[in-house]
Structures are given as C-alpha cells and as structure tokens.
C-alpha cells in the first residue's frame, strides 16, 4: 500500500499488513454472523472458537507443554508487576529480581509493596548497558523475576540462568515469539500484546499448572490467576477484539514458517543494523555491550543531539517513523519486531549509510 510507512515504533508497534487486511475483510461481517467481532458475545460459539484457537496457537508455536495455561487478561504488563507478587510472594517471604532497566525497576517497586525483594543482579551502575551474567539467587526465594528484553535500554538475555529449582517468572512483553527458546523453562511468562503480538489491550499470561497450584488464597477474584485459568479467561468480558487480532497474528506467524522462520528473519534484520554500527562505531554509537545486544530494540547515539534530531526528521520524510529513543535515554531506537519486514531494516540501513556520508 502506497501510503504505509516503515513503522519502527517501540509499542504499540507495527502489525503485519496481511493481518490488518484480514481484520479489515472480516470487520463488518465476521464469518457470516453479520456482525463484527467487536459486537458479538464473548459467550458465543464464534468467540469460543477464537479463544480456543488463540490458546492452541500459542501452545503450538511456542511448543508449550500441554499442562500450561494460556490466559488473556486486561491491565497491561504493568498490572502483572503487582499480580505476580500478590499471588506468589507470601507475607514475610522473599522474591528475587534482576534489575535490567525501567521495566524491571517498576516490577521491583510493586513487589516491595507486598514483601521482600532480593536483588539477584543489576546493571544499574553501568546505565543498564548489559545483562548481568552472574546472579545471586537465594535457594528459598519464592521466584526469580527477569525482564527478557529491555525495550528502553536495548539489552536482551541471550541465555537464561539455571535457577536451581526456584520458579522462573519472566516479563517477555517485547520479545515473546521472536525467536526459539525452551519456553517450558519458565513457570510464568507475561507479555503485553502491543509489541510483538497484536494491539494494546490484552496481556498474555502463560502459567504452568505447578505454579498455578501455588497461587495465594484470599486475593480478590480478578487478581487470582486461578479465576482466569478455570474460566479460560472468560470469568468476565475479556478484551475480545485484541484477542481476535492476536489470533490472526499467530496465524500469520504460522504461515511465515513458525518461530524457526521468524527467528531467521529477525536475525537478518538486526544483523543488518548492527553490522553497520560496527563499521562506523564512532558515528553510530551503540549504547550496550555487544554480548547483551537486543534483537528487538537497537539503541544508539549519534555524535550530537542535533544530528539525532535531523536523522529522525529525515528518516520520517523518507517514510520511516518511530526512531526516536525513549524520552528517558534519548538517542535513536530501532525497533525490529516480528512484523517489521527485512525490507524495512534494509531501507533504514541504506538511509543510515547515506546520512553518515552527508553529515
Ligand atoms: C511495554 C512494556 C511494559 C509495559 O506494558 P504495559 O502493557 O504498557 O503495561 C512492561 N514490560 C516491558 C518489557 C515492556 O516492553
């Protein structure tokens, strides 16, 4: 489509054009109902099918054990920052957290309201420029909480720690379904959909039955994971339209060839940009240590703030938007989620080369 741009926004982010077209095509009359998915009952057979298919696609694409529950909730990943300790951090107990940036810090803040937090690792001292490689995990911690990809700072775990039996909880908001992992290593995964899975409004929670068994008693109904697991996320009205779009996105992932193909594409995209940065390290100044580089959000500074402004403005004129770094860190941020085509990364790389030559 002629007026579509390459959208490098960090979230809400670009969606595959094919997904938008499917949604558009089905918008006014969903499968012969004469209604939009926005207008049908969440108790209808049509929605049941959407819900079941979405759950099944998560299990298939992430190769999850059948005993996992896939939940669709509201409130964003930020609500999960509180729900995790509400359910798993007993009064007087301790949970271990790794602080790798703003999102981890926010999760820690919520846990501290409810119990003790043991800092198992942190890269705060070096401005979050890496993922700590040695963690100190107390054997009696209620769980270890990680943020897999740091959307703002541009770091990402390239391997996950062995927790020695301590349950592993992970905020995967900005890199879920972007590459292959053994997702069954995690006892609980949560992710806001608006980066790699769909639109804002739904948060996916993947929880093992063994973890579900540990949920605290006595929490208000909506703040108890068991409620959502027992009712297949239909205790109340779920964010039905976002769930539907996530389903269409996962169908698209499958058509691409699943995580294997998505990983290959994501690798090619990030390499295109990092290679260029490595060729001109004094100009495109990466802000993170090479071993912790994110595949999803590439962060850099240019030689001056004026050049950064010019870069962002000229990229926009050339049809590439969303390249401004987070307001807390500045600079340039290139978000390369699943839906960004290789063509977009290549166009940006060419633009970067030209920009450097001229400036
Ligand atoms: C965007 C983001 C969040 C916040 O998600 P909301 O859905 O806005 O609450 C949390 N964690 C990470 C890693 C993120 O990228």
User: What does the mean pLDDT of the chain come to?
Assistant: 97
What is the per-residue pLDDT across 2-28, written as a single tens digit (0 to 9) for each?
Answer: 689 999 999 999 999 999 999 999 999
What is the per-residue pLDDT across 311-322, written as a single tens digit (0 to 9) for each?
Answer: 999 999 999 999
What is the CA(176)–ligand 1 centre distance, in A? 12
Of 72, 50, 309, 115, nearest to 207 (Cα)? 72
In a domain, 118, yes or no: yes
**Looking up tokens 């009064």, which residue turns up?**
91
- Long-range contacts: 288-291, Cβ < 8 Å, 24+? 288/129, 288/130, 288/153, 288/154, 288/155, 289/129, 289/130, 289/155, 291/130, 291/131, 291/158
Q: How far apart are CA 138 and CA 93, in angstroms?
A: 12
In a domain, 313, yes or no: yes
The helix (H) or strand (E) run that includes residue 118 is strand 116-122
Given pLDDT bands bounded at 50, 70 and 90, which one contains residue 352? very high
**Nearest protein Cα to ligand 1, atom 10:** 77
Cis peptide before 12 (omega within 30 of 0): yes
Q: Are residues 251 and 270 in the same domain?
A: no
Taking residue 341's Cβ as centre, other Cβ atoms within 10 Å add up to 16
Q: Are residues 314 and 293 in the same domain?
A: yes
**Looking up tokens 């166009």, which residue turns up?**
347
Catalytic residues: 103, 171, 195
Q: How far apart are CA 80 and CA 2, in angstroms?
A: 39
Query: Any idea what the CATH number is for the domain that residue 276 is in?
Result: 3.90.1150.10
Q: Are residues 269 and 249 in the same domain?
A: no
What is the CA(117)–ligand 1 centre distance, in A? 20
Of ligand 1's atoms, which has the minimum distance to the CA of residue 79? 9
Phi, psi of 6 (to 5 degrees): -85, 115
Taking residue 52's Cβ as centre, other Cβ atoms within 10 Å add up to 12
Of ligand 1's atoms, which has the minimum distance to the CA of residue 194? 7
Residue 77 CB less than 6 A away from ligand 1: yes
Residue 338 CB less than 6 A away from ligand 1: no
Whether 327 has a pLDDT exceeding 80, the answer reads: yes
pLDDT at 1: 66
What is the CA(356)–ligand 1 centre distance, in A? 33
Domain housing 329:
258-358
64's CB contacts (< 8 A; 6+ apart) are: 58, 70, 183, 184, 206
Distance in Å from the first CA to the final CA of the chain: 31
Taking residue 33's Cβ as centre, other Cβ atoms within 10 Å add up to 14
Q: Are residues 37 and 153 in the same domain?
A: yes
Q: Which one of 224, 255, 286 terminates a domain?
A: 255
Strand partners, 116: 94
In a domain, 4, yes or no: no
In a domain, 80, yes or no: yes
Of ligand 1's atoms, which has the minimum distance to the CA of residue 152? 15
In a domain, 13, yes or no: no
Q: Are residues 61 and 119 in the same domain?
A: yes
Q: Which one of 217, 238, 255 terminates a domain?
A: 255
Residue 199 CB less than 6 A away from ligand 1: no
10 Å CB burial of residue 163 (0-12, 13-18, 19+) is: buried
Q: Are residues 57 and 190 in the same domain?
A: yes
Q: How far apart are CA 47 and CA 203, in angstroms?
A: 17
Phi, psi of 219 (to 5 degrees): -75, 155
What is the per-residue pLDDT across 283-292, written as a single tens digit (0 to 9) for each?
Answer: 999 999 999 9
What is the per-residue pLDDT across 52-103, written as a single tens digit (0 to 9) for each?
Answer: 999 999 999 999 999 999 999 999 999 999 999 999 999 999 999 999 999 9
Q: Are residues 288 and 236 in the same domain?
A: no
In a domain, 12, yes or no: no
What is the per-residue pLDDT across 202-253, written as a single tens digit (0 to 9) for each?
Answer: 999 999 999 999 999 999 999 999 999 999 999 999 999 999 999 999 999 9
Residue 175 CB less than 6 A away from ligand 1: no
The DSSP call for residue 5 is: P
pLDDT at 275: 97
Query: Any idea what the CATH number is for the domain that residue 111 is in?
Result: 3.40.640.10
Q: Are residues 55 and 155 in the same domain?
A: yes
pLDDT at 323: 98
Q: Are residues 75 and 140 in the same domain?
A: yes
In a domain, 109, yes or no: yes
Q: Are residues 65 and 204 in the same domain?
A: yes
Q: How far apart are CA 317 and CA 228, in angstroms?
A: 46
Substitution candidate for ligand 1 out of 106, 169, 171, 189 with most atoms within 8 A of CB: 171
Q: Are residues 47 and 154 in the same domain?
A: yes
Residue 161 CB less than 6 A away from ligand 1: no
Q: Which one of 255, 270, 296 terminates a domain?
A: 255
In a domain, 179, yes or no: yes
What is the CA(115)–ligand 1 centre distance, in A? 22
Q: Are residues 316 and 340 in the same domain?
A: yes
Note if the pTM is more than 0.75. yes
How many CA atoms lie within 13 Å of 146's alpha carbon, on the beta-carbon side? 29
Domain count across the chain: 2
Q: How far apart are CA 258 and CA 166, in angstroms?
A: 30
Strand-pair category, 168-171 with 68-73: unpaired
145, 170 contact by CB (below 8 A): yes
């Amino acid at each position: 489509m002629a007026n579509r741009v390459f959208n490098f926004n960090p979230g809400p982010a670009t969606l595959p054009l094919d997904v938008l077209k499917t949604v558009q095509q089905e918008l006014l009359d969903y499968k012969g109902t004469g209604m939009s998915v926005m207008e049908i009952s969440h108790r209808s057979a049509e929605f049941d099918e959407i819900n079941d298919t979405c759950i099944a696609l998560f299990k298939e694409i992430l190769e999850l054990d059948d005993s996992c529950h896939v939940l669709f909730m509201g409130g964003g990943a930020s609500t999960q920052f509180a729900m995790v300790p509400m359910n798993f951090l007993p009064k007087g107990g301790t949970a271990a957290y790794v602080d790798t940036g703003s999102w981890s810090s926010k999760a820690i803040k919520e846990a501290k309201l409810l119990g003790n937090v043991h800092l198992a690792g942190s890269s705060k001292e070096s401005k979050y420029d890496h993922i700590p490689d040695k963690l100190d995990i107390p054997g009696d911690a209620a769980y270890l909480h990680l943020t897999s990809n740091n959307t703002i700072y541009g770091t990402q775990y390239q391997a996950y720690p062995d927790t020695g039996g301590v349950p592993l909880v992970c905020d995967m908001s900005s890199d879920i379904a972007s590459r292959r992992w053994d997702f069954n290593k995690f006892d609980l995964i949560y992710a806001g959909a608006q980066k790699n899975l769909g639109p804002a409004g739904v948060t996916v929670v993947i929880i093992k039955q063994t973890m579900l068994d540990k949920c605290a008693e006595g929490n208000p109904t909506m703040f108890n994971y068991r409620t959502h697991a027992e009712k297949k996320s239909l205790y109340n009205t779920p964010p039905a339209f976002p769930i539907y779009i996530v389903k269409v996105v996962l169908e698209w992932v499958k058509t691409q060839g699943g995580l294997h193909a998505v990983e290959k594409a994501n690798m090619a995209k990030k390499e295109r940009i990092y290679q260029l940065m490595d060729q001109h390290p004094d100009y495109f100044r990466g802000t993170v240590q090479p071993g912790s580089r994110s595949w999803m959000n590439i962060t850099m500074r240019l030689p001056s703030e004026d050049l950064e402004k010019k870069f962002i403005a000229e990229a926009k004129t050339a049809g590439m938007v969303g390249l401004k770094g987070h307001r807390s860190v500045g600079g340039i941020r290139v978000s390369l989620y699943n839906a960004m085509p290789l063509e977009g990364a290549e166009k940006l790389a060419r633009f970067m080369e030209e920009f450097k030559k001229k400036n």
